[in-house]
Amino acid sequence: MAPVPNRPSTLGTPRLGDWTMATLRFRGGKPLWGGVRVGGRKNAAVAVLPAALLASEPVRLDNLPRNVDVATSIALLRALGARVVRDGRGAVWVDGAGLARTAVEPMLAGRLRASAYLLGVLVARCGEAEVPLPGGCDIGARPIDQHIKGLRAMGAEVEVAHGIVSAKAARLRAAHIYLDVTSVGSTINLMLAASRAEGVTIIENAAKEPHVVDVATLLQAMGVPVVGAGTDAIKVRGTAVAHGCEHVIIPDEIEAATYLIAAAGTAGEVTVDGVIPRHLEPVSAKLREAGVEVQEWGEAIRVRGPLRPRAIHIKTLPYPGFPTDAQQPMTALLARADGASTVTENIWEDRFRFVEGLRQMGARIRVEGRTARVDGVARLSGAAVDATDLRGAAALALAALFAAGETELRRAEHLDRGYEGFVEKMTSLGADVRRVGADGAHGPEDLDRDGAERLDVEHGAEPRRRAAAAEG
């Protein structure tokens, strides 16, 4: 068997060029019926991948979604010298033993907000890090000042110059950190840094989102004591050595919410499987308020949509409030509700850019600051519209399913960042949608070979040992 492949430090995300400027073409007005299964949570996956570098042994990750953000995360790790392979059972192994660099590839970092997690990981493990200011969706100011504040409290010297964040620390020390704002990114980053710090670090006003808990679960499996994840105070006892482990990534409740809302808006009936219903309670509650029938059991949720939803009011809040990532798809649903709704976005100030696309489809929406007034219309009409960001693309795709006639959604490659097999799953539910790219049909289904190179290994075997045996 061939050894685990080494990748050059300049590796980019393969085949991303094929996915740029993609277009989805819809013929709307058809109810969605059937069942669909969601994959692993994207926001958890892009955090646990860098977290795995803290271990001295390989880490096995199950339920890792195949999307562009995950492929970019894998490319970032490989560019640093880590080995990332997919075994014959679909799991992904991360082996950071060969980590050779502490400077993160700028081109890749510019594509992904989660590249900031490498700041905490690299300074904790290697004593230094150079990470470009992260990219991601353009939905408003996304500073990393709380990340920097926490690292400085743990004894790191941190400077920001020419778009690069540089951090150095011979050894991080425990600190009592109060976050000025509840931030998922800074909570996770400081947990990762604290895992190697001397003593017990306390993070107060911490984020409570499920993927924060998922990262804490991984750290615990690696031998790092973490207490309080899911509350506003998290304690992390640093350890000099973290060991390898196996970890299953939690289901993606935003992907699930997207399909639930799609079914509700088409007056269809869809069962979404492989979910944790508790994580979806804010969305389920608002769907019920809008007149949607919602049933929950085990790891599944079924919705049955009315002919026309009722108008409701939504305010996004940190978990367990209504999630900001579900706001845009829900706004698309309310565009055809009976009555006037209001949507207040309390997390990101520039998350209504997609509204112009809805207006082109006949929606009556007026945005004033962080609040959108949505006067529902009986019917949306197909149009040619442009996606502006990941969840905005999802909102316009749902509106295209709700609308009469044909819709052309341009810049649909935004969907690839957070959804695996979006077109295929929607088609399986009866949607009339197809994808076209610059030179034909393309999509993130190629990520099995491009995002994480396959390597057939025995179940439970660890790649580095098998590679050594193959070489010997």
- Residue where one domain finishes, among candidates 250, 279, 294: 250
Per-residue model confidence (pLDDT) at position 2: 30
Residue 136 has pLDDT above 70, yes or no: no
Answer yes or no: are the C-beta atoms of 86 and 455 closer than 8 Å: yes
What percentage of the chain reaches a pLDDT higher than 90?
A: 81
Residue 452 has pLDDT above 80, yes or no: no
- For residues 441 and 393, membership in a common domain is answered with yes
pTM over 0.85: yes
Per-residue model confidence (pLDDT) at position 20: 57
Positions annotated as catalytic residues are: 137
- For residues 206 and 107, membership in a common domain is answered with yes
Per-residue model confidence (pLDDT) at position 469: 39
The tokens of 112 are what?
Answer: 């992904």
Q: What is the CA radius of gyration of the chain?
A: 22
Domain annotation covers residue 471: no
Answer yes or no: are the C-beta atoms of 191 and 215 closer than 8 Å: yes
From residue 407, give the alpha-carbon distance in Å to each of 24, 227, 246, 260: 8, 49, 43, 21
User: What is the overall mean pLDDT for the chain?
Assistant: 89
Encode 319-334: b = buried (16+ Cβ within 10 Å), e = exposed: beebbbbbbbbbbbbb
pLDDT in tens, 187-242: 999 999 999 999 999 999 999 999 999 999 999 999 999 999 999 999 999 999 99
Query: What average pLDDT does range 34-54 have in this prediction?
Result: 97
- For residues 337 and 437, membership in a common domain is answered with yes
Q: Give kind and range of the element (H or E) at residue 220.
A: helix 210-221
Residue 400 belongs to domain spanning: 18-39+252-445
Which residues on neighbouring strands pair with residue 25, listed in sequence order? 408, 434
- For residues 76 and 144, membership in a common domain is answered with yes
Domain annotation covers residue 468: no
Query: How many structural domains are present in the chain?
Result: 2
Domain annotation covers residue 10: no
- For residues 312 and 378, membership in a common domain is answered with yes
Domain annotation covers residue 426: yes
- For residues 379 and 271, membership in a common domain is answered with yes
Answer yes or no: are the C-beta atoms of 364 and 374 closer than 8 Å: yes
* Polymer length in residues for the chain: 472
Per-residue model confidence (pLDDT) at position 135: 54
Per-residue model confidence (pLDDT) at position 448: 44
Per-residue model confidence (pLDDT) at position 348: 78
* Closest-CA residue to 187 (of 156, 221, 211): 211
Residue 463 has pLDDT above 70, yes or no: no
CA angle 422, 425, 426 (to 5 degrees): 85
CATH number at residue 427: 3.65.10.10
Query: What average pLDDT does range 121-127 have in this prediction?
Result: 97
Residue 141 has pLDDT above 90, yes or no: no
The tokens of 410 are what?
Answer: 């341009």
- For residues 372 and 240, membership in a common domain is answered with no
Residue 70 has pLDDT above 70, yes or no: yes
- Residue where one domain finishes, among candidates 223, 250, 277: 250
- Residue where one domain finishes, among candidates 227, 250, 273: 250
From residue 101, give the alpha-carbon distance in Å to each of 51, 80, 127, 238: 16, 5, 12, 23
Task: Give the pLDDT band of residue 466 (cuts 50, 70, 90).
Answer: very low
Domain annotation covers residue 6: no
From residue 363, give the alpha-carbon distance in Å to each of 115, 252, 381: 36, 28, 9
pLDDT in tens, 79-103: 999 999 988 778 999 999 999 999 9
Distance between CA atoms of residues 424 and 141, nearest Å: 34
What percentage of the chain reaches a pLDDT higher than 70?
A: 86
pLDDT in tens, 181-201: 999 999 999 999 999 999 999
Per-residue model confidence (pLDDT) at position 255: 98
pLDDT in tens, 277-326: 999 999 999 999 999 999 999 999 999 999 999 999 999 999 999 999 99
- For residues 25 and 61, membership in a common domain is answered with no
- For residues 321 and 379, membership in a common domain is answered with yes
- For residues 207 and 317, membership in a common domain is answered with no
Residue 359 has pLDDT above 80, yes or no: yes
Answer yes or no: are the C-beta atoms of 387 and 348 closer than 8 Å: no
Distance between CA atoms of residues 132 and 136, nearest Å: 12
**Lowest-confidence segment of 2-11, 373-382, 437-446 by average pLDDT:** 2-11
Per-residue model confidence (pLDDT) at position 1: 25
Per-residue model confidence (pLDDT) at position 456: 34
Task: Give the pLDDT band of residue 29 (cuts 50, 70, 90).
Answer: very high
- For residues 241 and 278, membership in a common domain is answered with no
Domain annotation covers residue 27: yes
Per-residue model confidence (pLDDT) at position 139: 40
Domain annotation covers residue 384: yes
Domain annotation covers residue 457: no
Q: Which amino acid is at 322?
A: F
- For residues 194 and 258, membership in a common domain is answered with no
